[in-house]
Structure 1
Amino acid sequence: MTSIGLLGTLHNDEIRKEVNYSLSLMKDIILQFAPDIICGEIREQDWGQYIKDKSYTGYLGPDEYRRLIIPLCEQVNIQFSPIDFFDDNHVSLDHFTHYSKEEQRELSSILAERYKEMFKETKNDPIPFNSHQLNQLIADKQEWLRTVNLDVQEEIWDQRNKVMTDNIKKVVSENEGKKILVTVGAEHCYVFLKTFQDEGWKVEFPLRS
């Protein structure tokens, strides 16, 4: 029977330090799950460049991939499957662009308060930003962004999550009986978890730390 785990990650040291989510903790969690395959937040085209040339210095996912996840896969013989998707122009899209300066300040303040609530909520989580309570706060934040700018939300959030989860479904269908760990930015976890449950998969989330 295929085993699936879901691990939300944070993408820079400043945030990881603030919530005590070190790369060493992330490593311990991954090794405890002992996956055969890790599906991760790297685009297929970037991964292909790295496979052709291990000295590739271009974009290769958030920094936890170069610093931890890729070396760990290579050290302990875990297969890595890239599942990310976005166009380069998505990076410059902003939910607040078409608002006035005053409105942008107000919206930014609301967004900051939502993140403040998330950081407060996660203090007691064994794995920071990996809990059903955090998932709900993140889902509420993303739905608020949808009301702020539907077009941007659909392009950079809905479309991306759809392609990523479709990529994961393909990996699962081709690897019956394997242990598959999905590593993805923690804000995606609520979407991924619902999609996996809708597929009828039994998913371990949060993972045991």
Structure 2
Amino acid sequence: MKDKNDRGYWGEPASEYWELVFPLCEEYNIKFVPIDWFELDVWNNFDPFDVYNDKEKKTLMEIDDQWFEKQMSTHSHGAIPFNSKMFDEVTKKKYEWLNSINYRTYNFRWNVRNQIMVERVRNTYKSNPGKRILCLVGADHNYFFHHELRNDQVELKYPLR
């Protein structure tokens, strides 16, 4: 937020933040609280396919592409694309598959990352009692967030309508 020319790394945060979210926050004086957790110094040490030989890696990457296509095929299952129970079901299965091929990387890149992000959401709503918050995450994270936050003492509106 301090350096408008610093657009993050690897497309994070997504262009929507720069084009929509940050300008909206500035215009309406909305507090922006980053929740994502992504430590570049160790991230690549946890590539899920690195423990496989080149042939296996190629096959696994093709399967990963197939999972992405399955996710994309759910675009019309809700009022907002990729914001539906169908997308979440396919996505959860995708990450179960990633868990089955490499638990170590799945745990680090998915469970640990998501749990840190969820706790940051909890810290945000606890430090802003009675306020509405909008939590923006990539669609893959939706099912995890919904599962973790659904029993909290907050009014959770998901999927969006």
TM-score (norm. length: structure 1): 0.70
Q: Which residue of 1 aligns with 2:6?
A: 57
Matched-pair contact (CA < 8 Å) for 1:122–1:134: yes
Q: Which moved more, 1:78-87 or 1:135-144?
A: 78-87
| One-letter identity of the residue aligned with 1:57 | D
1:83 maps to 2:35:
yes
| One-letter identity of the residue aligned with 1:127 | I
Q: What residue ranges of structure 1 are gaps of 5+ in the alignment?
A: 1-49
* 1:143 aligns with one of 96, 107, 112: 96
Structure 1 residue 58, shift from structure 2 partner: 5.0
Matched-pair contact (CA < 8 Å) for 1:131–1:206: yes
Sort the Cα spacing of 1:140 and 1:90 in 2 relative to 1 into closer, same or farther, 3 A.
farther
- The percentage of counterpart residues that share the same residue type is 31
Give structure 1 regions of 4+ aligned residues with deviation exceeding 6 angstroms.
none
Matched-pair contact (CA < 8 Å) for 2:71–2:90: yes
Structure 1 residue 105, shift from structure 2 partner: 1.8
Deviations 1:84-122 (A, max 9, x none): 112113442321111111111221221111111111122
- What is the total number of aligned residue pairs between the two structures? 157
Matched-pair contact (CA < 8 Å) for 1:90–1:156: no
Deviations 1:23-64 (A, max 9, x none): xxxxxxxxxxxxxxxxxxxxxxxxxxx3xx344525262222
Q: Which moved more, 1:79-88 or 1:187-196?
A: 79-88
1:156 maps to 2:109:
yes
* 1:111 aligns with one of 29, 41, 64: 64
Q: What residue ranges of structure 2 are gaps of 5+ in the alignment?
A: none
In structure 2, distance between residues paired with 1:195 and 1:63:
27
Write 1 or 2 for the structure with the bigger share of strand: 1
Aligned residue for 2:33, secondary structure, equals: strand
Q: Which residue of 2 aligns with 1:166?
A: 119
Q: Which residue of 2 aligns with 1:188?
A: 141
Q: Which moved more, 1:149-158 or 1:92-101?
A: 92-101
Q: Output the aligned Cα RMSD.
A: 1.7
Q: Which has the higher contact order (CA 8 A, sep 6+)?
A: 1
TM-score (norm. length: structure 2): 0.89
Sort the Cα spacing of 1:58 and 1:109 in 2 relative to 1 into closer, same or farther, 3 A.
closer
Structure 1 residue 77, shift from structure 2 partner: 2.3
| One-letter identity of the residue aligned with 1:172 | Y
